[in-house]
């Protein structure tokens, strides 16, 4: 039995992921944003005839570093190892918002809070059985451009008049790739770290952001056509690559970037060793781990 931690598990790909892991007999610790979503998650699993006997659900607010810190403390108290850490939670192109920690919301939710969680949990990950950390990134990250600490600072604390929601999303996804690669370089003999493009997946992520109402009007009615043409994926298909990486006995490219269950060429920024180290050092300072 693997011990698996999955963030953002109450719907979409996260829901599919924990359902598959539970059906395999794994122990799953899942995070959701509220008690309401926790209750809904249990209901949905029961509707799908999936036992929740090996499931534990924790409320974690990824826009609050204190919440992430508390969750990490809970894990240290409750388990002695992590075999699979799947970072699925995220937001996309929301209206401008600065978290109480002082960061643009996409930067914190998609990247910095997950960065903090991984770094805090490294001692548990190192104790895992063939431990693997799987970060759900995006095709958007392939177009990210930040490669200096000055640019990183600017995207983390972008001012409202300079905020471009798609740019901030893109850079947050690039940073996930950068972090996975740097951890693979530093700890690759102890664990596997990979990032994933799941495809363009029809989940609630599309409908919660700045353009959510427009996308709900335009995309939802033609979703079936998207499935038929291969331009849009179901959550079940979108979760396939992460589940493949979590369960396969194949050799995994440590620090690599995957799509459709195969390695994919990453952003060249990921190859910049000096920037990777700068980004990790600055991020550690921001979360108080320096």
**Three-class secondary structure of residue 98 per DSSP:** strand
Its pTM stands at 0.90
Whole-number pLDDT of residue 219? 52
Whole-number pLDDT of residue 220? 54
Whole-number pLDDT of residue 13? 86
Whole-number pLDDT of residue 227? 43
Any idea what DSSP says for residue 108? Answer: I
At residue 244's C-alpha, the angle toward residues 174 and 18, to 5°, is: 90
Any idea what DSSP says for residue 96? Answer: P
- List the alpha helices (DSSP H) in 188-269: 205-208, 212-218, 223-229, 235-238, 240-247
Whole-number pLDDT of residue 209? 52
Helix count and strand count (H, E) for the chain = 13, 8
Whole-number pLDDT of residue 226? 44
**Three-class secondary structure of residue 259 per DSSP:** strand
Q: Give the chain's residues under pLDDT 50.
A: 206-207, 212, 216, 222-231
Whole-number pLDDT of residue 176? 98
Whole-number pLDDT of residue 215? 53
**Three-class secondary structure of residue 85 per DSSP:** strand
Radius of gyration from C-alpha coordinates of the chain: 18
Q: Which residue has the tokens 């972090």?
A: 179
Determine the Cα–Cα distance for residues 194 and 86; give it in Å rounded to an integer.
10
Q: For 224-280, what is each residue's pLDDT tens digit?
A: 444 444 446 688 888 999 999 999 999 999 999 999 999 999 999 999 999 999 999
Q: Which residue has the tokens 């090996």?
A: 54
β strands within 132-254, DSSP E: 132-136, 192-197
Domain annotation for the chain: domains and CATH numbers: 3-199+237-284 (3.40.50.720)
Q: Which two tokens stand for residue 107?
A: 């930067």
Q: Which two tokens stand for residue 151?
A: 């640019």
Strand 257-259 relative to strand 262-263, pairing = antiparallel
């Amino acid at each position: 039995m693997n011990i698996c931690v999955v963030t953002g598990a109450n719907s979409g790909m996260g829901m599919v992921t924990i359902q598959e892991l539970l059906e395999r007999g794994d122990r799953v610790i899942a995070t959701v944003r509220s008690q309401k979503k926790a209750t809904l998650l249990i209901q949905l699993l029961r509707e799908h005839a999936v036992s929740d006997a090996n499931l534990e659900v924790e409320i974690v607010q990824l826009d609050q570093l204190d919440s992430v810190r508390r969750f990490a403390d809970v894990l240290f108290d409750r388990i002695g190892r992590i075999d699979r850490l799947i970072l699925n939670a995220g937001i996309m192109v929301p209206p401008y918002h600065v978290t109480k920690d002082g960061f643009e919301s996409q930067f914190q939710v998609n990247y910095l809070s997950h960065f903090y969680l991984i770094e805090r949990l490294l001692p548990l990950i190192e104790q895992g059985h063939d431990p693997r950390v799987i970060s759900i990134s995006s095709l958007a990250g392939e177009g990210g451009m930040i490669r200096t600490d000055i640019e990183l600072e600017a995207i983390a604390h972008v001012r409202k008049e300079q905020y471009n929601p798609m740019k901030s999303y893109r850079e947050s996804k690039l940073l996930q790739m950068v972090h996975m690669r740097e951890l693979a370089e530093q700890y690759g003999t102890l664990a596997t770290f990979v990032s994933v493009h799941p495809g363009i997946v029809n989940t609630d992520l599309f409908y919660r952001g700045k353009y959510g109402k427009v996308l709900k009007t335009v995309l939802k009615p033609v979703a079936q056509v998207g499935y038929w043409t291969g331009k849009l994926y179901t959550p079940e298909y979108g979760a396939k690559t992460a589940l493949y990486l979590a369960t396969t006995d194949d050799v995994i490219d440590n620090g690599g970037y995957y799509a459709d269950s195969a390695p994919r060429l990453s952003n060249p920024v990921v190859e910049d060793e000096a920037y990777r180290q700068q980004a990790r050092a600055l991020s550690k300072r921001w979360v108080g781990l320096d």
